[in-house]
Amino acid sequence: MYLYETHIPVKDTEKSKSFYLDIVGLQFAHRDLTRDIVFLWAGSDRRSMLGLWGPDTVYGREPHKCHLAFAMSRLELLTAIDRLHSRHIVCHNFSGEETTEPSVIGWMPSAQIYFEDLYGHSLEFISLLDESPEPHFVGSLSAWQSRGSA
């Protein structure tokens, strides 16, 4: 089982579409011409989808902030961080502090970076790590990689 689709309210579907295509790296799927909704593919093979709902639609009528996480490889995560910084997107670690490197949550373990879209939705790029879990570890990727070598 996996999550196929999710939908978020946005103030402007065209601006949001551009952000999610250019910054996040999703692919255009469809614009509903009868309603102010844009659908975007996340990943390959039409495996999952994000719907952007404008303010005059059912899901867009009452704006609220959402959190979305996009899974990727560690290399893709590091490349994405460089892309975000080159676009002047501020990134945060798990603790909410501004950062230029991923943070690691040891119980999973996973490396991730957080940032916001145009309307304050929390976005996460996450990479599950192959190492054994360490339930009490929360810190930077560099600290994770250097543990035990001190």
The CATH number given to whatever domain includes residue 95 is 3.10.180.10
99 and 51 within one domain? no
pLDDT value for 2: 81
81 and 56 within one domain? no
130 and 146 within one domain? yes
pLDDT value for 140: 96
pLDDT value for 1: 78
pLDDT by 10s per residue, the chain, length 150: 788 999 999 999 999 999 999 999 999 999 998 999 999 999 888 889 999 999 999 999 988 999 999 999 999 999 999 999 999 999 999 999 999 999 999 999 999 999 999 999 999 999 999 999 999 999 999 999 998 665
Return the structure tokens found at 84. Answer: 């975000």
Q: Considering 42, 63, 84, which residue would you say is the last residue of a domain?
A: 63
Q: Which long-range contacts (CB under 8 A, 24 or more apart) does 86-91 make?
A: 87/22, 87/23, 89/23, 89/115, 90/115, 90/116, 91/115
| Host domain of residue 122 | 65-150
Q: Are 91 and 84 in contact (CB under 8 A)?
A: yes
70 and 57 within one domain? no
78 and 145 within one domain? yes
139 and 83 within one domain? yes
pTM: 0.93
Total domains present in the chain: 2
pLDDT value for 148: 67
pLDDT value for 33: 87
70 and 59 within one domain? no
pLDDT value for 103: 97
121 and 53 within one domain? no
111 and 131 within one domain? yes
129 and 71 within one domain? yes
CA nearest neighbour of 63 among 79, 78, 52, 50? 52
Environment class of 118 (CB within 10 Å of its CB; exposed 0-12, middle 13-18, buried 19+): middle
Q: Considering 63, 81, 112, which residue would you say is the last residue of a domain?
A: 63
Q: Are 55 and 9 in contact (CB under 8 A)?
A: yes
